[in-house]
Chains A and B, each alone.
Chain A
């Protein structure tokens, strides 16, 4: 299933060029998210997973509205607040002073062993093909490059796997991330611009096979 957020290559109209000044609630929503992430209480990948879970209503909400709805889920999912407390706060319950402390699980509670990352399988210049897979869950490999072949442009380093981070696991051991360069005319049938144009995409190693 192609997720609602994965829009690369879809046909849409003109880019809306007007900008808006961020509202105070948008800034504070963004700041709360940043603070929780810096404390290690949640990850950006959880935010993305919950935004993607909006499904059909994704396009009905504005950008910061989607993020806020995601963080409302995250703070409950992480045990930082309860749904009931949030309901009472929204209802202006005068007895809310007595709240339970947050139920934050101990770090590393996912039981995964870190271990050393595997050595990089590919080198710059290698031809690779992206798996033509459609897994459920949160993935960062755009739909439009799946099944296509390209060339490794660089090895970016090793990073925790976002497909695990999104579900509150450690994402360890870290996995190698590559930048893969695709020819635009390979990605798009009937590409109408310069055939030498390219698209570079960051892809984690478990999505790549030799081509």
Chain B
């Protein structure tokens, strides 16, 4: 989708012109834009991973997480603003995967910007029609007997997957568990792997 041979100078100039003009006209202040950049840079998947690890060690928290994602984030001191967060739980029978076929809806207020593949036409087009084939490209094999629930994020809700806790992690601390949860686990395209221990 991004053609590396195409010069981006025109876009860079257009962006700068819009920003400078809005500042010149007093619509926004440069500090406000800087603050938005800093806020987005400060959000990443580790915030979601903390919630997952807590749910793995605390059944009460897990129930609250599945009932109200935003409240469960705030309970851990994670600020997410007016986010309508639906958390969907993987089980031995059900695997969840998130997509937005219309654009790129993603819980940015919690996890930061989505990866490029999430925004790609290929992922958006195919995940609703051949989820196992798409997941296999991530190296994730979902057995035929497991039900896949695809969630097309088309409107006001945003989604995060609660993966299953991998076997052999009984001795890990909560922080150690969180380190197993990478960004893709929270979208459902990969599974936490104890071999990923830092």
A81 in contact with B21 (CB, 8 Å) = yes
**Interface mask (B6-39 → A, CB under 8 Å = 1, otherwise 0):** 0010011111111111101111100011101100
Q: Determine whether B141 belongs to the interface, using a CB cutoff of 8 Å to chain A.
A: no
Q: Pick the contact of A188 from B36, B113, B129 — CB < 8 Å?
A: B129
Which of A48, A72, A89 counts the most B-chain CB atoms under 10 A from its CB? A89
A144 in contact with B128 (CB, 8 Å) = yes
Q: Pick the contact of A99 from B25, B131, B132 — CB < 8 Å?
A: B25
Report A1-41 residues with CB < 8 Å from chain B CB: 5-20, 22-23, 25, 27-32, 34-36, 39, 41
Report B106-155 residues with CB < 8 Å from chain A CB: 113, 115-117, 119-126, 128-134, 137-138, 144-155
How far is B40's CA from A14's CA once the two chains are assembled, in angstroms?
29
How many chain A residues sit at the interface, stated as a range, is 35 or more
Which chain B positions have C-beta within 8 A of A177? Answer: 155-157
How far is B1's CA from A59's CA once the two chains are assembled, in angstroms?
7
Closest-by-CB residue of A relative to B2 is: A62
Q: Determine whether B102 belongs to the interface, using a CB cutoff of 8 Å to chain A.
A: yes
Q: How many residues of B contact A (CB 8 A)?
A: 69
Which chain B positions have C-beta within 8 A of A202? Answer: 152-157
Q: Pick the contact of A17 from B24, B138, B155 — CB < 8 Å?
A: B138
Q: Determine whether B182 belongs to the interface, using a CB cutoff of 8 Å to chain A.
A: no
How far is B22's CA from A34's CA once the two chains are assembled, in angstroms?
13
B147 in contact with A51 (CB, 8 Å) = no
How far is B3's CA from A116's CA once the two chains are assembled, in angstroms?
48
A9 in contact with B128 (CB, 8 Å) = yes
**Given A6-B101, A80-B27, A177-B156 in contact, is the A65-B150 Cβ separation under 8 Å?**
no
B28 in contact with A39 (CB, 8 Å) = yes
Per DSSP, chain A at the interface is mixed
**Given A23-B8, A101-B25, A201-B152 in contact, is the A194-B15 Cβ separation under 8 Å?**
no
A35 in contact with B154 (CB, 8 Å) = no
B144 in contact with A193 (CB, 8 Å) = yes
B40 in contact with A30 (CB, 8 Å) = yes
**Interface mask (A167-203 → B, CB under 8 Å = 1, otherwise 0):** 0000000000101000010011001111011111111
B34–chain A nearest beta-carbon distance, Å: 8
**Interface mask (B65-105 → A, CB under 8 Å = 1, otherwise 0):** 00000000000000000001010000000000000011110
The stretch from A105-113, A120-128, A155-163 touching chain B is A155-163
How far is B1's CA from A39's CA once the two chains are assembled, in angstroms?
31
Which chain A positions have C-beta within 8 A of B28? Answer: 32, 35-36, 39
Which chain B positions have C-beta within 8 A of A6? Answer: 101-102
B26 in contact with A102 (CB, 8 Å) = yes
**Given A17-B117, A19-B117, A25-B11 in contact, is the A203-B154 Cβ separation under 8 Å?**
yes
A48–chain B nearest beta-carbon distance, Å: 6
Which of A8, A9, A16, A48 counts the most B-chain CB atoms under 10 A from its CB? A8
How far is B37's CA from A13's CA once the two chains are assembled, in angstroms?
33
Closest-by-CB residue of B relative to A141 is: B154
A selection of 12 A-B contacts at a CB cut-off of 8 Å is: A5-B102, A16-B1, A17-B137, A30-B36, A32-B18, A34-B36, A69-B14, A80-B27, A142-B152, A142-B154, A156-B84, A162-B155
